[in-house]
Structure 1
Amino acid sequence: MALVTAGVVMLDCAEPEKLAEFYKGLLEGEESEVSANRLEIRGGDGTRLAFRRDANATPPSWPRPENALQAHLEFLVEDLDEAERRVVGLGGRPLEAKPAPEAHEERLFSDPAGHSFTLRRTVSTAPKQG
């Protein structure tokens, strides 16, 4: 039996409720644990994210070095355009600082609190039809 049964990525932010709503919408998830200063959500695929209240939290400044990249999330999606529309509709914003090597395969965004994340197109493993 494994000693550690699950991992949770924790993001510090000034408003955990607001950030949890963004990621619940993106991951089609639900709250799984709530306290005064911490919210945890579980996405439809089992992804677990938590948000801890920090009144002094400052957004990362990536790609500028002043406040560096504190954490970076990557989400696998089948349809980048559809996922981008959802991100923007939920309050995220594109962070295309420079084109990725395969610009059509991944896109960089920030959540409403300024944490960066990537949407990366999944590679189909299904055999070609026809």
Structure 2
Amino acid sequence: MIMKLAAVTLDCADPMALATFYHRATGIPLADRSDDEFAGLRGSDGFFFGFQRVDGYRPPSWPGQEVPQQLHLDFDVEDLEEATARLVEWGATVPDVQPRPDRWRVVLDPAGHPFCLTIPRGARAD
């Protein structure tokens, strides 16, 4: 192995709000906060999920490309409908365009970053 993924950091307008959203969604504990500029979560395996404030932040325009998404995250869930509903309660939105709603769900976090919810490969009927 040459590399091991150790961290992912997302740009946003409000790091603490986005860290709180992802803490609620993943259960990964809040681990770092420096003023209003940065917040982060750290998993028990050491993985770090960071959120940094960027002046003039513009959310991605998924599925359009006016502001490209640049990256997206995928999360395994047991139930697409239940997970989607809970995330919407916490501030996520669900765009109208859903390329494969039977297999995964595109969701936008409160800062507009697209991510996907999917049933683990072994648990779905392919």
Q: TM-score, normalised by structure 1?
A: 0.82
Could you report, residue by residue, the CA deviation over 1:73-122 in whole angstroms, capped at 9, with x for unpaired residues? 1101122122112111111011241432xx22210010011000000111
Aligned to 1:22: 21
User: Could you tell me how far 1:42 is from its partner in structure 2?
Assistant: 2.8
Aligned to 1:128: none
Is this contact kept in 2: 1:96–1:107, CA < 8 A?
A: no
User: Unpaired runs of 5+ in structure 1?
Assistant: 126-130
Aligned to 1:50: 50
How far apart, in 2, do the equivalents of 1:4 and 1:33 lie? 24
Is this contact kept in 2: 1:8–1:49, CA < 8 A?
A: yes
Q: What is the identity percentage for the equivalent residue pairs of Structure 1 and Structure 2?
A: 37
Aligned to 2:103: 105
Aligned to 1:76: 76
Aligned to 1:33: 32
How far apart, in 1, do the equivalents of 2:65 and 2:4 lie? 35
Rg (Cα) greater in structure: 1
4+ long deviations beyond 6 Å: none
SS of match in other structure, 2:111? coil
Given the superposition, is the C-alpha separation of residues 77 and 45 from structure 1 closer, same or farther in structure 2, using an over 3 Å criterion? Answer: farther
How far apart, in 1, do the equivalents of 2:103 and 2:46 lie? 24
Aligned to 1:117: 115
Is this contact kept in 2: 1:27–1:43, CA < 8 A?
A: no
SS of match in other structure, 2:121? coil
User: Unpaired runs of 5+ in structure 2?
Assistant: none
